[in-house]
Structure 1
């Protein structure tokens, strides 16, 4: 994924729990040094200390709210930095969902969603590409969702942007040494639904993935340079089905996961 002369450094947003924390663990196990980004400084330090102790890697922490343009700019600077400690893998993972329909949400909350799910990964990818293209190597991983294949309000629309951008970017930049992969999971056992305060009841058990399986499958596809990673055959079938069924049927389905 990177040139042999680089120290492998992965910057992961939303790194204190769930998918982001699992990316940190598995990449540390592969020997990556880490830059962990999230809002909660205490949780970041706790996560970093555990990874340093377990894997002996260097872990930097950046406490930042990526909805804040000044905080985002700080992370952009780190992502775009060149030199021996340059970021060789960017994992755009930070996200949240809104439980209410679009018309019932305050428009400022919808703007925050758009800023975190589209603006932040776009700006961080742009910053990463400046130094990755100059070095001729690098990897960008964007966490999308199966919701991006369905009519699912602004969350699904945001993830559809991530999918479309990642496909295009991989096609455009892979020939120059930078691979871009969108990971499109479905229901994953994380804090995501708890933070939305929505029930997980009614979701069939076989649709749930654990973060370790998801990240293992995603990193396998990332290593192959694939533009899109859809974990497990069950979700490949869900995506296929969503493309065949009428939108009015897909829209009332249970595709509310990551």
Structure 2
């Protein structure tokens, strides 16, 4: 039975990945800061899908948390989903530097270190996959969030090319607005976002798993967001940044 480790596994896309992979008969290792919610999520998945679920409480913004997850990955995992992340309510440079550094720690350093920890075992077994959750924001210059997600996309593409083994897949997942707790936790007002731009977490995960099976290095779920990214790439960077800043506010 294959094993998947998912960070940020108790809500949003992380929880959707857990449901999908449990339904596909994966054993799960769930990582989150919230130990109580982690245990509740594990119990629900065991009861519904009858799979083995291991819980690993860890704060990926700390060295201790990262080290604990790295150690578990070195024991052997078939699929790593780097999903943990968060947003800021305020825009750069209004966000305190400590919060900006924490974001870089979770979005960039954790993705780097956990990917490096899991790859030796995958290369030895000659199979495995890593999904690094980024965002459509990666393609639009706005704030530290978009910059960190742009790093995730670039890193994932580079890592896939460097590994150079089609049996080991590394993919950046770039969804748009998804109905999760993400914006609520960041205290972001979403009332101005048109309804047609919202995606369902389970739909995003379904497309992500399809694109992973196809060997794609970057997955942008939904035709609407594929079109938005395509148009955005044709817009001058200066204009793109102004529009992104206005939408972000």
* TM band (smaller chain): over 0.9
What's the CA shift for 1:96? 0.3
Aligned residue in 1 for 2:53: 59
- Check the 8 A contact 1:136/1:176 in 2, yes or no: no
Q: Does 1:118 align with 2:108?
A: yes
C-alpha displacement of 1:53? 0.5
8 Å contact 1:150–1:251 — kept in the other structure? yes
Correspondence for 1:92: 82
- The answer to whether the aligner puts 1:45 opposite 2:39 as a matched pair is yes
| 2: CA distance, partners of 1:89 / 1:243 | 31
**Is 2:210 the partner of 1:216?**
no
Runs of 5+ unmatched residues, structure 2: none
Partner in structure 1 of residue 180 of structure 2: 190
Q: Distance in 2 between matches of 1:59 and 1:180?
A: 24
- Tell me the C-alpha RMSD between the 2 structures: 1.4
Give the ranges of 4+ consecutive aligned residues of structure 1 lying more than 4 Å apart after TM superposition.
254-257
Report 1:118-197 matches (<5 A): 118-175=108-165, 177-197=167-187
What are the ranges of 5 or more consecutive residues in structure 1 without an aligned counterpart?
A: 1-6
Kindly indicate whether the alpha-carbon contact (under 8 Å) linking 2:133 and 2:172 is maintained by their aligned counterparts in 1: yes
The question of whether the paired residues in 2 share the 8 Å contact of 1:174 and 1:180 is answered with no
Provide the rounded CA distance (Å) in 2 between the counterparts of 1:176 and 1:234: 29
Report deviation, 1:176.
Answer: 6.0
Aligned to 1:32: 26
TM-score, reference length from structure 1: 0.92
Give, in whole Å, the separation in 2 of the partners of 1:213 and 1:119: 28
SS of the residue 1:251 aligns to: helix
The answer on whether the counterparts of 2:142 and 2:244 sit within 8 Å (CA) in structure 1 is no
* SS of equivalent residue, structure 2 residue 93: helix
Residue among 194, 197, 206 paired with 1:207: 197
Count of equivalent residues: 247
- Larger mean Cα displacement after TM superposition, 95-104 or 242-251: 242-251
**Structure 1 residues 15-61: Cα deviation after superposition (integer angstroms, max 9, x where no partner):** 00000000000000001000000000010010000000111100000
Cα offset, 1:254, TM superposition: 5.4
